[in-house]
Structure formats: structure tokens, C-alpha cells
Amino acid sequence: MKKVRITQVKSGIGRPLRQKRTLEALGFKRLNQTLEVELSPSVAGMVDAVKHLLRIEEIE
């Protein structure tokens, strides 16, 4: 599996509840928080759903 570093760069305030819950499911608790996750198909789908709120970097 490929690992990626994802950082929340935009707030979930004012976003639909579904997007807020997706951020919570990914593990984000605050703005500018960075997580390193393995890019499984389920995680890739969640990242794709809120990609406009995130910065995504591949890790080798």
C-alpha cells in the first residue's frame, strides 16, 4: 500500500454534514493537522470526497 500525508488546510465550518463526518472519520480534529495514512480504497474514497479541504502528498 502507498502511504500519503494529508493536511487539513480549509475548515469544515459551513460545509455539509456529510463532509464534516468524513473529516472526522479520517481522524482530523483541528485545522492544519497532518496525518500519515495508508491509501486503501476506502481511505482513497474519503480523501477524494473532501479533497478541496485537504493538501495531499505522497510519501515514498
* 41-56 tens-digit pLDDT: 999 999 999 999 999 9
Residue 28 belongs to domain spanning:
3-59
CATH code of the domain containing 51: 3.30.1390.20
Number of domains comprising the chain: 1
* 1-20 tens-digit pLDDT: 899 999 999 999 999 999 99
25 to 38, 54, 60: CA distances (angstroms): 14, 14, 24
Provide the grid cell at 19: 463532509
pLDDT score at 1: 83
